[in-house]
Structure 1
């Protein structure tokens, strides 16, 4: 998958991978539809950071989820 291209498919893929890696319990809280192309690079940075690590402290997980929340597009 070529994540250098901004696409809704890539956003969906990255969000799903982040949720799986972090074992997000409330999967409905983070949806690909919450994100748009304007924040694509920031989302990809978070994705790459998450994929590099094997484990996360509770504080790290909270920070990642908060950052994802900051990237959500406004309704």
Structure 2
């Protein structure tokens, strides 16, 4: 899978992976359908950062990433 190519499948993969790694309890907050492909690069940057620091993120860093992802959710 080439995550450098902005596709909906890649976006879904990254959001689901982030939800698991960030241990998001309320998965409704990380529903891939709530994210627009136009924010792909920003979401990929966060995904890459979480992958690099896998298992080494503090609670406040985890909360910051979840909060930042929330900014990219499509408002209903």
Q: TM-score, normalised by structure 1?
A: 0.91
For 1:74 and 1:38, the matched residues in 2 are separated by 14
Which has the higher mean CA deviation after the structures are superposed, 29-38 or 41-50? Answer: 29-38
For 1:25 and 1:74, the matched residues in 2 are separated by 20
For 1:4-42, what per-residue CA distance to the aligned partner results, in whole angstroms no more than 9, with x for missing partners? 111110010001111111111111211111111110000
Aligned length: 75
Q: Which runs of 5+ in 1 are unaligned?
A: none
SS in 2 for 1:29: helix
For 1:1-75, what aligned pairs fall within 5 Å after superposition? 1-53=1-53, 54-75=55-76
Which 4+ runs in 1 deviate beyond 6 A? none
For 1:2 and 1:68, the matched residues in 2 are separated by 21
RMSD: 1.0
